[in-house]
A and B are shown apart, each in its own frame.
Chain A
Amino acid sequence: MFKELDPILHSQLRLAVMSLLISVKEAEFTFIKEKTNATAGNLSVQIQKLKEAGYVEVVKEFKDNYPNTTCKITEVGINAFEEYVKALQQYLNVNHK
């Protein structure tokens, strides 16, 4: 029986954001935008979806008088990411048999 792929993570930009955040402690919005080559609008929407799912923590503050958004992956996000990778491996193993 296949595990169902998490629909929150099974989207190109959201998966890219989660893959970036799993490798660092925390990252600013501008860093994620630069690495994913996404538009600010689209990225904001996708980060909001990840936040609503409890996968990322978003902190908005002021840095040198400018608004600054920082994102960090949560424990729930790490578990979901690991489950997603396990499910992917299951699909790939079956295809290789």
Chain B
Amino acid sequence: MAEDNLNPSESLQLIESMINRAKNRFSEDGHLYLFWGWMVLLCCIVQFVLIHFFQYRYFYIVWMLTWFAGFYSVFYARRQKKKRKVKNYADEIISYVWMVFLVMALLLSYVIGALSGPGPYYTYIHPIMLTLYGMPVFLSGVILRFNALKIGGIGCWVLAAISPLVAFEYQSLLAAAAMIIAWIRPGYLLREKYKLQESSQ
């Protein structure tokens, strides 16, 4: 870039073009959406099979897998942070949105458990989680201006409204459906968009 005298309109054009170059960078490749989407989908289906076909009492052990997934996500996010050449405000806001979701999910699981006493409180988990899932998914869609995520978030809320009306064992199938519309479908679309951006650079 040459050092020369700019006139006011050239200055404004330069400002606009540089802001667009920074703004149009899309840093979400959908990896964690796909990873969590497939992971939770698998857990939901295994839970359904264990309850429906085997009447297995300890069906919830399948959710232990999510702990390993949590460790992997932290490891992956740290590695990505190291690789990243630029930090956007959007990325930061999205990470806070997911952090809020995680805190609320853990806190609500505990609070509902404590309030409902020793009964089968786990029957409340799917409706509550579906209600909560909608929030980070919808907000990520707004921040990234990505309609598939907005639709996914709304889908979670619709499924959350239906979930108290169905038997517990079938609620896990609703959660599986939520994974497809809120994480897996947007995850593949995000990956496609990211690959397109990388190949055009």
Interface residues of A (CB under 8 A from B): 5, 10-13, 15-16, 19-20, 22-28, 30-31, 34-38, 42, 63-64, 84-85, 88, 91-92, 95
Contacts and interface: CB of A to CB of B under 8 A. Distances in A.
A31 B2 CA distance: 18
B145 interface: no
Contacts of B86: 24, 26-28, 31
Contacts of B85: 27-28, 30-31, 34
Contacts of B22: 19-20, 23-24, 27, 35
B14 A16 contact: yes
Task: Classify chain B's interface size.
Answer: 20 to 34
Q: DSSP class of B's interface residues: helix, strand, loop or mixed?
A: helix
Given A10-B6, A24-B86, A84-B11, 16 more contacts: A11-B3, A12-B1, A12-B2, A15-B15, A19-B22, A20-B22, A24-B89, A26-B87, A28-B86, A30-B85, A35-B21, A36-B18, A85-B12, A85-B15, A92-B8, A92-B12
3 closest residue pairs by CB, A with B: A19-B18, A31-B85, A23-B22
Contacts of A95: 8
A48 to B, nearest CB: 14
Contacts of A63: 82
Contacts of A25: 87-89, 92
A15 B14 contact: yes
A91 B11 CA distance: 11
Q: DSSP class of A's interface residues: helix, strand, loop or mixed?
A: helix
A23 B6 contact: no
Contact of B8 (A16, A23, A36, A91): A91
A16 B18 contact: yes
A24 B86 CA distance: 7
Question: Which of B3, B4, B15 has the most chain A CB within a 10 Å cutoff?
Answer: B15
26 contacts: A5-B8, A10-B11, A12-B4, A13-B1, A15-B6, A19-B15, A19-B19, A20-B21, A20-B22, A22-B19, A23-B19, A23-B23, A24-B87, A24-B89, A25-B88, A26-B86, A27-B87, A28-B85, A31-B85, A31-B86, A34-B85, A35-B22, A42-B1, A85-B12, A88-B12, A95-B8
Contacts of A19: 14-15, 18-19, 22
A1 B56 CA distance: 82
Contacts of A13: 1, 3
Contacts of B55: none
